[in-house]
Amino acid sequence: MTRWYKDKKNEYYYKKAKRERYRSRAAYKLKQLNRKFDLIRRGYKVVDLGAAPGGWMQVTRELVAKEGFVLGVDLEEIEELGFDNVITLKGDFTNKETVQKIIDTVGYVDAVISDASPNISGVWDIDHYRSVELCRSALEIATMVLRNRGNFLVKIFQGREVDDFFKEVKDNFTLAKRTKPKASRGKSAEIYIIGKGFKYPKEVGR
């Protein structure tokens, strides 16, 4: 892909998001991922980690509709979406207290999604390791709150730890995939990892 083409594509999604009133271009990544992998359905309860400014929350609310529920968590304040079944929590999800608040708020959920990004240092390895840390926290939260057969989606910056992290996802889910949606910039370091069908031990009865 030429640079010219990439710039055009970014501009395309930027303008589309403005026109369609999504808070981020990232909204289209979730739409594309969900079309392909069917992670979120009507009526689902969903936790969205690293959710500001709220583009994924908007898309998730459309998918779960009024029967579902969305909790968005971010370090930054997220402007309210204006739906009774969408709430936000300001906090660091790598922090125990925030995790406890998430658990207390949602109980069990059908999907955990995370588009969280660390502050970019520009040094590939550092950004990669920080991203993996966020992914591991997201996976840990998923294993605490997902119902049996629930789904997981997480953004990760490519690098040497991806294979190990992918294996951790594989161990916890019936199906694991790596993917890069069209709306994700061609040259960017990010890919998405999907886990479908959380394998929770039956005896606990989630």
Ligand X SMILES: C[S@@+](CC[C@H](N)C(=O)[O-])C[C@H]1O[C@@H](n2cnc3c(N)ncnc32)[C@H](O)[C@@H]1O
Chain residues in the site for ligand X (CB under 6 A): 23-24, 26-27, 50-56, 73-76, 92-94, 115-118, 134
Nearest approach, Cβ of residue 51 and ligand X (Å) = 6
**Nearest to 47, CA basis, from 109, 93, 97, 100:** 109
CB closer to ligand X, 2 vs 119: 119
CA-CA distance, 185 to 11, in Å (whole number)?
11
CB closer to ligand X, 117 vs 148: 117
CB closer to ligand X, 92 vs 140: 92
Burial of 84 (0-12, 13-18, 19+ CB in 10 A): exposed
Neighbours of 94 (CB within 10 A): 17
Nearest approach, Cβ of residue 99 and ligand X (Å) = 10
Nearest approach, Cβ of residue 202 and ligand X (Å) = 32
CB closer to ligand X, 88 vs 172: 88
**Of 29, 155, 180, 196, catalytic:** 155
Nearest approach, Cβ of residue 86 and ligand X (Å) = 13
CA-CA distance, 115 to 108, in Å (whole number)?
20
CB closer to ligand X, 73 vs 112: 73
Residue 155 a catalytic site member: yes
Residues labelled catalytic: 155
